[in-house]
Chain A
């Protein structure tokens, strides 16, 4: 579904991604792990078009994504749930979700999606009229994910959904994500710092380090690989 080939990208001349290639097939849950500064968020931002690609190719369902304007890419079915939640703080929870459903597919499936979203995240139903900026970190994360789902995406990209959350809340979020993947059949590309959790649920994974994909494998191949530990902790 998504093919990234030899991607080089960076900010203002400083290259961050160095010939990164990854692949996500339909209905998979693929994890991208790696230490901070490895370029995981930059990868997502380049796929979404916020960061310009300096070289390489990105194809989504056989379509050259780099030829598509950034604000048009979500309409193709890619939902990006960014790092740090990034809700619209002065809009209500419901309005945030409505913005998630900005795409045609989202509007078409609005009623069904909303029902399912409220089933997965009951707290959003309870606080539907509250301002998004007033929610707690965990609730905002749920809102961000729900907002991504509201577009009826074919590919859901989640950037560090557990960041800044307590381990208990992070686990909760994780379980929902896995449930969504299983029940709604959404293809998921997940960036996570908590390696084992990510790899445990993933079909396949990539390890990024200093802008390069240094390791790739199935869940089993990676789970016991000590190279990962070295990448994170240095020894």
Chain B
């Protein structure tokens, strides 16, 4: 009995880490938007959904003709989702979101929040239901050989405890981690990244430096949804999805970002990782359907008990 529990636990732990890594990537995207622009984007999950479908169709179009072998097709497809969603994010920001945010928006603190919350809710509805029309309601996923093969670790204890590590998910997790590291390097080292951080820290002073803060916000939004979309593309080969999938993941992402602490990219990644763990570990003692409820409970607990999260900086601006 104990052995069985240990095995279930290790299995859940492994699954949690693997999906958590991809959640972490998604959270990093969201944290960029919230960190730089102070915008709550309710449509983040729906951009992710779009990313999943782009990956799905790209997978079909690529037909296995990719470098590193056909098995890598889903992951290349996921990466393709990045630039596509980046462009759509830029467009949405330019047309709609910039009208209620930015220097103008932050001047009316409370009114600005209200408008941006409602606007992104409207965009979410359009994307979800537009997606329903465009893609149909039947759940799809990207089926690949890797996603149905697993390495067996074990037996670990005597004859019994073995853990199956899904190969597809492992590759996805590795790519997610690589993407996060690349992003961190971009934000930390490049002139663009520093200018985004400066615009987040102190928009007025950023203008005095000659940084176009509106453009910085636009880029942050584009990058933010693109990164999350890549995460979605990576998930697409593990789980089936349909146009309404975005709503479930909005809460997951916000829980991760808030847990990690606003203003910290590393925190967002860790937050997503922990949420993934919570989700998988909760299946040990809760029925499957209540997985997401467990996450909601965690989210509420964080915002009520420790709103600054694990690594968040309390006061961010001079």
Contact = CB atoms under 8 A, between A and B. Distances in A.
Interface of A: 48-50, 69-75, 79-82, 84-91, 95, 98-100, 102-103, 133, 147, 151
A133 B202 CA distance: 12
B213 to A, nearest CB: 7
Nearest to B35: A90
Contacts of A151: 209-210
Contact of B198 (A75, A81, A99): A99
A88 B204 CA distance: 10
A90 B316 contact: yes
Nearest to A70: B207
6 contacts: A72-B212, A86-B202, A86-B205, A89-B201, A91-B198, A151-B209
B208 interface: yes
Nearest to B208: A80
Contacts of B206: 71, 88, 99
A71 B318 contact: no
Size bin of chain B's contact surface:
20 to 34
A48 B263 CA distance: 28
Contact of A98 (B194, B202, B318): B194
Contacts of A98: 191, 194
B149 interface: no
Contacts of A85: 318
B140 to A, nearest CB: 42
B197 interface: yes
A82 B204 contact: yes
Given A88-B201, A88-B202, A88-B205, A99 B318 contact: no
Interface in B192-224: 194-195, 197-198, 201-202, 204-214
Contacts of A75: 210
The winner among B197, B207, B214 for most chain A CB atoms within 10 A is B207
Contacts of B204: 50, 82, 86
Contact of B205 (A72, A87, A103): A87
B256 to A, nearest CB: 21
A88 B197 contact: yes
Nearest to A79: B208
B288 interface: no
B317 A89 contact: yes
Nearest to B213: A71
Interface in B286-304: none
B101 to A, nearest CB: 16
A168 to B, nearest CB: 23
B198 A72 contact: no
A71 B198 contact: no
Contacts of A84: 318
A91 B210 contact: no
Given A72-B212, A90-B316, 10 more contacts: A70-B207, A79-B208, A82-B204, A89-B316, A90-B201, A102-B209, A102-B211, A103-B210, A147-B209, A151-B209
Nearest to A157: B208
Contacts of B313: 90
Contacts of B191: 98, 102
A190 to B, nearest CB: 16
A209 to B, nearest CB: 26
B195 to A, nearest CB: 7
Interface in B141-200: 191, 194-195, 197-198
Given A98-B191, A102-B210, A90 B318 contact: no
Contacts of B209: 74, 99-100, 102-103, 147, 151
Contacts of B201: 88-91
B197 A71 contact: no
A91 B318 contact: no
A110 B205 CA distance: 20
B110 to A, nearest CB: 15
Given A88-B202, A88-B205, A99 B211 contact: yes
A99 B213 contact: no
- List 4 tightest A-B contacts by C-beta distance, closest first: A74-B210, A88-B201, A86-B205, A71-B212
Contacts of B207: 48-50, 70-71, 74
Contacts of A147: 209
Interface centre among A71, A72, A80, A82 (most CB of B within 10 A): A71
Given A71-B213, A98-B191, A88 B208 contact: no
A90 B208 CA distance: 17
A74 B191 CA distance: 17
A226 B318 CA distance: 37
Contacts of B194: 91, 95, 98-99
